[in-house]
Amino acid sequence: MRRGISIILLTLCVLGCSEIHDQKYGVRFDAEYYAKLKVCEGLPLKSRIASGTLDNGERVHVSGRSAEWYSKSKYLGDTCYKASIGPYLYRDEGDEDPDFYAIDVQVKTESAEALGGYVWQVLFARQFHINDISDELLYQNVHEVVSFEPSSRTVTFSLDEKSYVYELPRP
């Protein structure tokens, strides 16, 4: 087993809770994230972004195989866009070894077809073979991997020795 991953069980935070923490991977769902989530939930949903502007890169996920994403997310500045990082595990293998790693930028958009009337639309995504990712990256906090420059609306994912940059759409 190259790397095991722990199942993260989330409990709802009541007043006074500052964070939920997974010791193995350092996942933190902090008070700042939850506060931003509540602000964004109160705003009107964005219209779907035209598919021609999406940048989803090459897929590593094998089509037809169910996989679970152990993602860590953060909202980007004062926007309601969020960046996520983390490993995927194929559910049909019965082990806890990560199979590939992904990064993305998403925004909550209207969707008449979806339950609840919205979907998280992925605007930018990259997937990586697990052998191309260092063990250290699996343990890094999302705040260490993802940075955001509000003036240029630029998101930077720093993965090991390489960076991936995406510019958020203008309002």
* Within-domain flag for 45: yes
Long-range pairs for 58-67 at CB < 8 Å and ≥24 separation? 58/126, 58/127, 59/127, 60/100, 60/127, 60/128, 60/129, 61/88, 61/100, 61/127, 62/90, 65/90, 65/91, 65/92, 66/90, 66/91, 66/92, 67/91, 67/99, 67/100
What pLDDT, on a 0 to 100 scale, did the predictor assign at position 60? 92
* Residue 111 located in a structural domain: yes
CB-based contact 135:3 (threshold 8 Å):
yes
Q: Is the pLDDT assigned to residue 4 strictly greater than 60?
A: no
Range of the domain at 129: 19-167
Q: Is residue 11 part of a domain?
A: no
**Predicted local distance difference test score (pLDDT) of residue 15:** 32
pTM listed for this prediction:
0.77
Q: Give the pLDDT of residue 2.
A: 44
Tally of domains within the chain: 1
Query: Does residue 10 fall inside a structural domain?
Result: no
**How much is the pLDDT for 22?**
42
The verdict on residue 150 lying in a domain is: yes
Residue 13, domain member (yes or no): no
In a domain, 8, yes or no: no
| 2 found inside a domain | no
